[in-house]
């Protein structure tokens, strides 16, 4: 059944606008009386189309239930900005695997350093990628893509989570050995192509982050978050 996200409901009514509305009418060729699923506030709403116009679809809610497709852990990925368009794939795959938030981070060894205007455009593009991936993977929410932040702000924000983890190419505790069952919120920090400096690793430890190893092999910056999130979701009972 087609699945769409809406920001709010008006009682038992919902309105879909923009690209989603056009997709329903033009691509899917749905008609009045057909049913679809609307996601709002981590709830799934079975709805029936009551009206279709250019750029607007009106629906009536038939029934509602808590979404069953969201992980038990709220995972935030803090990803050091990679070169080229690698962040596009990272956002897409992190969304599919269950990340709830994604924050681009500028670290010492980041080659990509967009100015404010360029960074804002990139965040907007990544948010669209997250929305598309959330729909494809039947998520209950669209992960939030945060603004680009610096390393110090990243460390400060990661303190808000129950568990804060950092994958470090020079080694650390084994991720698979972490006791994550029952953890409600977790933050994961991944480096860019050059990894992290020793100063950044020390600062991370001083701020309570657990330095982790993903094994003997060095993974690319676009591979590491996929591997790490997969393991975390397995350890929390949300995968496999």
Residues 61 and 155 in one domain: no
What pLDDT does 1 receive? 86
- Beta strands 35-40 and 3-5 are parallel
What pLDDT does 42 receive? 86
Residues in Cβ contact with 197 at an 8 Å cutoff, skipping those fewer than 6 apart: 107, 108, 109
Residue ending a domain, choose from 43, 66, 89:
66
What kind and span of H or E run contains 43?
strand 43-53
For residue 210, tell me if it sits in a domain: yes
Asked if residues 87 and 104 have their Cβ atoms less than 8 Å apart, the reply is yes
Residues 62 and 95 in one domain: no
Biggest CA pair distance of the chain: 61
For residue 150, tell me if it sits in a domain: yes
For residue 80, tell me if it sits in a domain: yes
Residues 53 and 111 in one domain: no
What pLDDT does 65 receive? 94
For residue 240, tell me if it sits in a domain: no
Give me the CATH number covering residue 166. 3.40.1280.10
Q: Per-block average pLDDT, block size 10, for the chain (240 residues)?
A: 91 94 94 95 94 95 93 97 97 98 97 95 98 93 97 98 96 90 95 96 97 92 97 91
Give me the CATH number covering residue 46. 2.40.240.20
Residues in Cβ contact with 170 at an 8 Å cutoff, skipping those fewer than 6 apart: 195, 198, 201
Tens of pLDDT, residue by residue over 43-73, are 999 999 999 999 999 999 999 999 888 999 9
Residues 223 and 106 in one domain: yes
Residue 33's domain comprises 3-66
Residues 139 and 176 in one domain: yes
Residues 107 and 224 in one domain: yes
Residues 29 and 140 in one domain: no
Residues 228 and 118 in one domain: yes
Residues 194 and 104 in one domain: yes
Tens of pLDDT, residue by residue over 157-189, are 999 999 999 999 998 999 988 989 889 999 999
What pLDDT does 41 receive? 83
For residue 101, tell me if it sits in a domain: yes
- Evaluate if pTM is beyond 0.75: yes
How far is residue 57's CA from residue 24's CA, in Å, rounded to a whole number?
A: 8
For residue 121, tell me if it sits in a domain: yes
Q: How many domains does the chain have?
A: 2
User: Which of 227, 190, 240 has its CA nearest to residue 93?
Assistant: 227
Residues 79 and 192 in one domain: yes
Residues 40 and 108 in one domain: no
Residues in Cβ contact with 200 at an 8 Å cutoff, skipping those fewer than 6 apart: 107, 108, 151
Residues 150 and 93 in one domain: yes
How far is residue 107's CA from residue 190's CA, in Å, rounded to a whole number?
A: 10
């Amino acid at each position: 059944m087609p699945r769409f996200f809406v920001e709010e409901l008006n009682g038992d009514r919902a309105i879909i606008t923009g690209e989603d509305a056009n997709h329903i009418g033009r691509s899917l060729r749905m008609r009045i009386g057909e049913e679809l699923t609307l996601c709002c506030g981590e709830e799934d709403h079975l709805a029936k189309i009551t009206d279709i116009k250019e750029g607007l679809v009106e629906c009536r809610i038939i029934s509602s239930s808590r979404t069953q497709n969201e992980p038990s852990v709220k995972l935030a990925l803090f990803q050091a900005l990679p070169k080229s368009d690698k962040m596009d794939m990272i956002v897409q795959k992190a969304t599919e695997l269950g990340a709830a938030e994604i924050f681009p981070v500028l670290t010492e060894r980041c080659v990509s350093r967009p100015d404010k205007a360029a960074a804002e455009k990139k965040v907007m593009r990544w948010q669209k990628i997250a929305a598309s991936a959330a729909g494809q993977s039947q998520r209950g929410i669209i992960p939030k893509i945060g603004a680009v932040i610096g390393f110090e702000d990243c460390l400060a924000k990661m303190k808000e989570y129950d568990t804060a983890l950092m994958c470090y190419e020079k080694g650390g505790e084994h991720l698979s050995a972490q006791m994550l069952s029952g953890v409600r919120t977790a933050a994961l920090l991944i480096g860019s192509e050059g990894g992290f400096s020793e100063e950044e690793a020390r600062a991370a430890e001083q701020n309570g982050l657990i330095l982790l190893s993903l094994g003997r092999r060095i993974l690319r910056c676009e591979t590491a978050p996929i591997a790490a999130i997969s393991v975390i979701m397995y350890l929390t009972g949300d995968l496999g």
